[in-house]
Structure 1
Amino acid sequence: MQPTRLRILEILKEQGDLTVAELARQLGMAPVSVRHHLDVLQGEQLICSPRVRRRGTVGRPRQVYTLTEAANAYFPRNHGMLASRLLEELKAILPPAQLQAVFERLADGLAADARPLQQDATPKQRVERAVEFLDDRGYLARYEFVDDHYVIYTLNCPYQGIAEQHRELCAMDKRLLERLLGSAAVVINRMSEGGCRCAYQASGDSVADGQPSAIPLYDLVAA
């Protein structure tokens, strides 16, 4: 990002809502130049449309700018370390069978948020729904039809940097995909094992009673 615009985001993060004049003083810039940068940031949906801040005394109300939720992506977060530590604590406290149940429930709960599918949906419709669901959640999911099978790819891992140490996340994703498909899936490739993408082959065989396969215990206790 352009340095001046990044500095505007930092100032608004530190001090909350500010006027053009207040920003101009802190940046040492002309108000007209600040307005240009604010217009760009507003177009990128990083700051909200100006709102009115009324004075406590007599005087004209002033327009102030503040950050949107999307702007928080430009500031450091520690979600990865926290998630990793939480997983370490869970694995230290829970026996493998209970840990397995936790991640199965997580996968099933995530899949429950997918849009409904007709009972007589074709394999292609099931694959398309799964890919749509994963893609909406940052997996960059794609699929192709190869040798009479659908192959589903995820080009981005939401758990990058964590899954390498906690393979139960990979097992959870596999169960999530099987729940979305309503059939078994075979892992072809995993980013956590050095691949450039994760890949799954949809078997087309319905899982018994519509349930996905259990997360293997070896996936949960692997180092």
Structure 2
Amino acid sequence: MSNQETNTRRTIITILRTEGPMSAGDLAERIGITEMAIRRHIATLERDDLIFPTTIRQPMGRPAKVYQLTEVADELFPKSYHSLMLDILEDIVRVDGEDKIQAIFDQREERLTSQLNEMLEGKSLEEKVQALAEMQNNKGYLAKWERKDDGSYEIIEYNCPIAQVSKVYPQTCACETNVFRRVLGTEVDRSQCLAEGGSSCVFKIETGEQTEG
């Protein structure tokens, strides 16, 4: 794909974000290219699940087909959720003290453990490891799992969507490890951590006797 094609598609996405749903003809006129060319870009953006067509009624004439952004496209725009989260956690410390932060993460651990135990009930250890890795991957952690030669397992996360928060509040990492340990019912050791400078987060999962989470 040429840089010009990429830039044109970014322009389409930006226009739809700032100006709202628009027809192919209006987009072509707005950008200054032919309608045939704009339709090729639209086809690619639809294929990539970044835009979708919808029909709107008009006071006169036939209904018009316009294009708008999907939720997937929304993720292309900068976000600063971590800044908001850090501000909130800092305010909590100022109002209620450091102990309140730990209480919040303890509650999060209980909630996630309960939810995951219900979702993974009846699965074998390997099935649970696979399911956890898939769930983390869907959340943007670029996670995978593998079985080692000694029979143990590893979940490896190559990205941390909350790394900025984890660097300030390591409770986030401890919470994740504890949830894995309780849901899997076996020992889980975090041997590497992105927030601590590692190249990935690596969770080593033993295959010893399982316990209740």
- TM-score, shorter chain, exceeding 0.5: yes
Inter-partner Cα distance in structure 2 for 1:66 and 1:166: 38
Do the aligned residues in 1 keep the contact of 2:89 with 2:101 (CA within 8 Å)?
A: no
Q: In the TM superposition, what is the alpha-carbon distance from 1:48 to its structure 2 partner?
A: 0.8
1:82 aligns with 2:84: yes
Q: In the TM superposition, what is the alpha-carbon distance from 1:78 to its structure 2 partner?
A: 1.5
Inter-partner Cα distance in structure 2 for 1:133 and 1:4: 34
Structure 2 counterpart of 1:20: 24
1:34 aligns with 2:41: no
Inter-partner Cα distance in structure 2 for 1:96 and 1:183: 30
Q: In the TM superposition, what is the alpha-carbon distance from 1:9 to its structure 2 partner?
A: 0.6
Change (3 A) 1:123 1:67: closer
Unaligned regions of 5+ residues in structure 1, if any? Answer: 212-223
1:126-205 alignment, distance < 5 Å: 126-139=128-141, 140-147=143-150, 149-203=152-206, 204=208
Change (3 A) 1:92 1:178: farther
Unaligned regions of 5+ residues in structure 2, if any? Answer: none
1:92 aligns with 2:83: no
Inter-partner Cα distance in structure 1 for 2:128 and 2:18: 47
Change (3 A) 1:93 1:181: farther
* Cα RMSD (Å): 2.2
Give, as a single letter, the amino acid of the residue that structure 2 aligns with 1:64.
V
SS of structure 1 residue aligned to 2:161: coil
SS of structure 2 residue aligned to 1:2: helix
Change (3 A) 1:129 1:14: closer
Q: In the TM superposition, what is the alpha-carbon distance from 1:8 to its structure 2 partner?
A: 0.6
Change (3 A) 1:61 1:201: closer
Inter-partner Cα distance in structure 2 for 1:141 and 1:61: 47
Give, as a single letter, the amino acid of the residue that structure 2 aligns with 1:4.
T
Runs of 4+ displaced beyond 4 Å:
none
Count matched residues.
Answer: 205
Structure with greater proportional helix content = 2
Task: Among all aligned residue pairs of Structure 1 and Structure 2, give the percentage whose two residues are the same amino acid.
Answer: 26
Inter-partner Cα distance in structure 1 for 2:130 and 2:28: 50
Q: In the TM superposition, what is the alpha-carbon distance from 1:96 to its structure 2 partner?
A: 4.0
Structure 2 counterpart of 1:220: none
Q: 1:68 aligns with which of 66, 70, 75?
A: 70
Inter-partner Cα distance in structure 1 for 2:138 and 2:193: 20
Do the aligned residues in 2 keep the contact of 1:130 with 1:181 (CA within 8 Å)?
A: no
Structure 2 counterpart of 1:219: none
TM-score normalised by the chain length of structure 1: 0.81
Structure with more relative contact order (C-alpha pairs < 8 Å, separation 6 or more): 1
SS of structure 2 residue aligned to 1:138: coil
TM-score normalised by the chain length of structure 2: 0.84
Change (3 A) 1:202 1:13: same
SS of structure 1 residue aligned to 2:51: coil
Q: In the TM superposition, what is the alpha-carbon distance from 1:94 to its structure 2 partner?
A: 3.1
